[in-house]
Structure 1
Amino acid sequence: MTTSDLVGLRIKTVRRQRGLSQAQLAHPELSDSYVSLIESGKRTPTPAVLELLAQKLDCSLSYLINGVTAEQMEDIELALGYARLALENGEVNEARTRFVELLANNNLTGLTTLRQDTDFGLALAHEACGDLDEAISILLKLREEELSPERRIEVAMVLCRAYRESERLTEAVEVGEEVLVGSTRLPWTDALVELGATLLSAYMFRGDLLRARQFAAELLNAADALGTPRSVVAANWNASAVAHATGHNEEALSFAERAMAVQVETGQPRGIARMRLALLQKRLRARPHEAVAVRDALYATVSEFEQTSTSTIDRARVHVELAYAEYMTGDYDKAVEHALIGRGLLPEHGHVLGVEANLLLGRVYSTVGRSEEAVRYAASVRDWMTPLPDSRRSASTWYATAETMEQLGDSDGTVEAYQRALACVGL
């Protein structure tokens, strides 16, 4: 039913409950034929007419428009606000529960915009909890609905990101290109640059580095033209990732530092914390001689993550990175401690971060001469990698696994890992 149909049905229902005829409701301001057309959904009443009918029917204007009373609307908006606040504060499981409870409220059914807001919030909560399949399912259903242009871009961006994190890179690229590529593309906006940045990372993870390099330049030009903090951060940050992937480490740091400077001035705590971690990761790889300084900064980042709305995966990432920094500074006990903390925060299998943690544990135990444990952790990579689809990103991880197993003297494991790496790229 259309909105006009629903409004007309509510007017008809309340009129009958009040024991009024159409002529009685209409008199003297309106004609009974006009009321009949409204009730049948053939005419959309103006705001003034709706307010008049609400007065005559002794009901709230909110009920005629939305099917709920003003009090019920206030309760729904308050519940949605609490769910969003929980998500922003990093209480992702509580947020997910609140969004689910709100969707079970029958009064939400006719409130299309609020229901879409709730569905989108639930998808974000699922994503933050690491349940990417459920987030994707909700976003695909939302995408089939009539959405505002802004919400359509938001849905595309989160869907592209969820596909990317699920290693479904072809689908991630298709979602982004559907909006951004072609003659029908809208002029650049902050939201479109952010979607473009997500698409850019999908190109990079897929191994299409030439396209990524070209598109990164396009995004940087768009951000410079807009001159807005959101676009500058998104374009520079993802250009940094592309520069790093193509071996331009100092250029990567330059882009990242520019993005970080703008984010600190204008961003939210969650975004600042996540960007700070990623910047420290780049520093550690580009400038290993700064490992002690990066390690100390990472300890401060752990506290920052605990106080902001970062997800469980985010918190796992900071501990794995801290483990890597401790390994580089020679504190192997601390490296093991943080690698195990990080791995413990992840789903049991099927996340590339778990692979990184296990490979690091293998290297640490090899370094301290505990070969049996080193081989066991390196071999466990198979369990973590098996659920992941073949991709260039998986190939890179298998290659790192092969190098680690070669260092450990596991010839059979080395050969298998190299073969899996080749299979991931179709060789």
Structure 2
Amino acid sequence: MTSQDLIGQRIKTVRRQRGLSQAQLAHPELSDSYVSLIESGKRTPTSAVLELLAVKLDCSLTYLVNGVTAEQMHDLELSLRYAEMALVNGEVAEARRRYAELLENGSLAGLPAMRQQAEYGYALAVEACGDLDEAIDVLSRLRDSGDDAVADERSVAVVLALSRCHRERGRLGDAVRVGEEALLGPRRPAWNDGLVELGATLLLAYIVRGDLMRARQFAAELVAAAEMLGSPRATVAACWNAAIVAEHTGHGEEALQLIERALAVQSENGEPRNLARVRTESAILRLRVRPGEAEASRDVLLRAHSELAETSASTVDLARCDLDLAKAEIMLGHPEKAVEYARRGVDRLDDRTAALRAETRLMLANALLLASKQDEAAAELAAAEELLQRVPASRKTAAGWATVARVLGDLHEDEASVTAYHRALAGAGL
């Protein structure tokens, strides 16, 4: 049923509740035949006519247009704002609950734009909770709805989130297909900030899939698009992800130049949480490219962690920074300090973020082993293995199984180490 039909039905319902005929409602400004056409959904009333009918029916214009009273609209907008705040503040379970309650509210039926906004927020909250399959279902419906209420920017955001969820789920072909259909289809759109961010997500899918040549080519195109646009948002997205591509393809110094450019632009124009994220990426890239500067990288990570803690960063952001700090301390020869950071990261996460929790437990197992605490290392390794078994096979899980195999070898568990190596090869598609 179209919004035009719904408006006509509401006018008819309220008219009957008021005990008016079509002729009485119409007189003297309108004809009764025109009112009949409006009520049957065959004519779309102008804004002026709707305002007139609202006055004659003694009801709010908001109700005729959206099916809710002004008070109900205020409550819905407030509920949506609280859900969005919970999501931004990293309270993902609370955000999921609030969005679900909104979507169960029948009043949203006549508010397609608000419903789309709530569904998109719900998908992001579900993704943050680790339920990628449900997030993919919701985002796929949003993308395919074809509803005019979805603005172009929101459509791009939906596709971006869908591609990211497919990537994290290990469905790399779907992640690439979704991104390429939006960016590189027969009617290729002109670049804007949102499309550059979508392209950055596509870059990461290329990397995880192992398509490094394509990633390298597309990264150059993305940086050129950002330069053409000249916007801080596009520049940060393009340079940040192009830096990751450069490092993966053996161009370490180029990677550092790109991430430093992203950091400089974000420092001048961005909000604090994203600034801390870019700073974290710059530190971990420097740690890999220039291992001799591990102490300086560690200090940058400490600054980023402090910045994250002062913002609305999620526990996932903080746990990732804990993980990076543990890596830095291991490179500095401080396994006990690495254990401290890795434990803190594990404690921040639950099994809804199984992949990251597995990675953090593996780091903890490695740090414990280096600290000569073999029994504790073995226990953490077993917990990481259990988590990895629940995560879909991908190159990331393959790397996890390779780490398991190495640590098992150090623990002289040779047979189990061979099994883990086989799982690593299977995850890499070999």
1:51, distance to aligned residue in structure 2 (A): 0.8
CA distance in 1, matches of 2:56, 2:371: 84
Residue 59 of structure 2 is matched in structure 1 by 59
Partner of 2:303, secondary structure, is helix
Partner of 2:72, secondary structure, is helix
Give the conservation status (yes or no) of the 8 Å contact 1:224–1:232.
yes
1:306, distance to aligned residue in structure 2 (A): 2.4
Residue 2 of structure 1 is matched in structure 2 by 2
1:133, distance to aligned residue in structure 2 (A): 2.9
Q: TM-score, normalised by structure 1?
A: 0.94
> Does residue 220 in structure 1 map to residue 223 in structure 2?
yes
1:102, distance to aligned residue in structure 2 (A): 2.2
Residue 156 of structure 1 is matched in structure 2 by 159
> Does residue 252 in structure 1 map to residue 255 in structure 2?
yes
Partner of 1:42, secondary structure, is coil
Query: What amino acid maps onto 1:359 in structure 2?
Result: L
Cα deviation, 1:243-270, whole Å, max 9, x if unaligned, reads 1111211111111111111112222222
Following superposition of structure 1 onto structure 2, how do residues 98-247 of structure 1 map, counting pairs within 5 Å? 98-145=98-145, 146=147, 147-247=150-250
Identify which range, 80-89 or 354-363, moves more after superposition.
354-363
Give the conservation status (yes or no) of the 8 Å contact 1:339–1:361.
yes
Query: What amino acid maps onto 1:238 in structure 2?
Result: N
Query: What amino acid maps onto 2:71 in structure 1?
Result: E
1:402, distance to aligned residue in structure 2 (A): 3.1
Which 4+ residue blocks in structure 1 deviate beyond 6 angstroms? Answer: none
> Does residue 424 in structure 1 map to residue 424 in structure 2?
no
Identify which range, 41-50 or 379-388, moves more after superposition.
379-388
1:7, distance to aligned residue in structure 2 (A): 0.5
Residue 361 of structure 1 is matched in structure 2 by 364
403, 408, 423: which is aligned to 1:405? 408
Residue 89 of structure 1 is matched in structure 2 by 89
Identify which range, 281-290 or 211-220, moves more after superposition.
281-290
1:375, distance to aligned residue in structure 2 (A): 4.1
Give the conservation status (yes or no) of the 8 Å contact 1:351–1:385.
yes
Query: What amino acid maps onto 1:310 in structure 2?
Result: A
Identify which range, 417-426 or 179-188, moves more after superposition.
417-426
Cα deviation, 1:270-322, whole Å, max 9, x if unaligned, reads 22222222221112112222222222332333332223222222221111111
C-alpha change, 1:350 and 1:37, in structure 2 (3 Å) is: closer
C-alpha change, 1:73 and 1:408, in structure 2 (3 Å) is: same
Identify which range, 403-412 or 239-248, moves more after superposition.
403-412
1:80, distance to aligned residue in structure 2 (A): 1.4
Cα deviation, 1:179-231, whole Å, max 9, x if unaligned, reads 11222121111111111110110111111111111111111111111111111
1:379, distance to aligned residue in structure 2 (A): 4.8
> Does residue 79 in structure 1 map to residue 79 in structure 2?
yes
C-alpha change, 1:336 and 1:349, in structure 2 (3 Å) is: farther
Following superposition of structure 1 onto structure 2, how do residues 10-21 of structure 1 map, counting pairs within 5 Å? 10-21=10-21
CA distance in 1, matches of 2:354, 2:381: 15
Give the conservation status (yes or no) of the 8 Å contact 1:379–1:413.
no
Give the conservation status (yes or no) of the 8 Å contact 1:129–1:311.
no
C-alpha change, 1:167 and 1:310, in structure 2 (3 Å) is: farther
Q: TM-score, normalised by structure 2?
A: 0.93
Residue 44 of structure 2 is matched in structure 1 by 44
Residue 339 of structure 1 is matched in structure 2 by 342
Runs of 5+ unmatched residues, structure 1: none
Give the conservation status (yes or no) of the 8 Å contact 1:99–1:118.
yes
Residue 327 of structure 1 is matched in structure 2 by 330
CA distance in 2, matches of 1:352, 1:88: 22
Query: What amino acid maps onto 1:53 in structure 2?
Result: L
1:103, distance to aligned residue in structure 2 (A): 2.2
Partner of 2:321, secondary structure, is helix
Query: What amino acid maps onto 1:109 in structure 2?
Result: A
1:120, distance to aligned residue in structure 2 (A): 0.9
Residue 32 of structure 2 is matched in structure 1 by 32
CA distance in 1, matches of 2:339, 2:244: 27
> Does residue 298 in structure 1 map to residue 304 in structure 2?
no
Query: What amino acid maps onto 2:137 in structure 1?
Result: S
C-alpha change, 1:259 and 1:347, in structure 2 (3 Å) is: same
Runs of 5+ unmatched residues, structure 2: none
Cα deviation, 1:142-194, whole Å, max 9, x if unaligned, reads 22321332221110001111222222222211211121122212111111111
C-alpha change, 1:180 and 1:89, in structure 2 (3 Å) is: same
CA distance in 1, matches of 2:35, 2:6: 14
CA distance in 2, matches of 1:266, 1:10: 47
1:350, distance to aligned residue in structure 2 (A): 7.0
Aligned Cα RMSD in Å?
A: 2.0
> Does residue 267 in structure 1 map to residue 305 in structure 2?
no
Query: What amino acid maps onto 1:12 in structure 2?
Result: K
Identify which range, 150-159 or 127-136, moves more after superposition.
127-136
CA distance in 1, matches of 2:236, 2:129: 25
Query: What amino acid maps onto 2:138 in structure 1?
Result: I
Identify which range, 391-400 or 228-237, moves more after superposition.
391-400
User: What is the percentage of aligned positions where both structures have the same residue?
Assistant: 56
Give the conservation status (yes or no) of the 8 Å contact 1:206–1:393.
no
Number of residue pairs matched by the alignment: 427
CA distance in 2, matches of 1:56, 1:103: 32
1:349, distance to aligned residue in structure 2 (A): 7.8
CA distance in 2, matches of 1:298, 1:217: 28
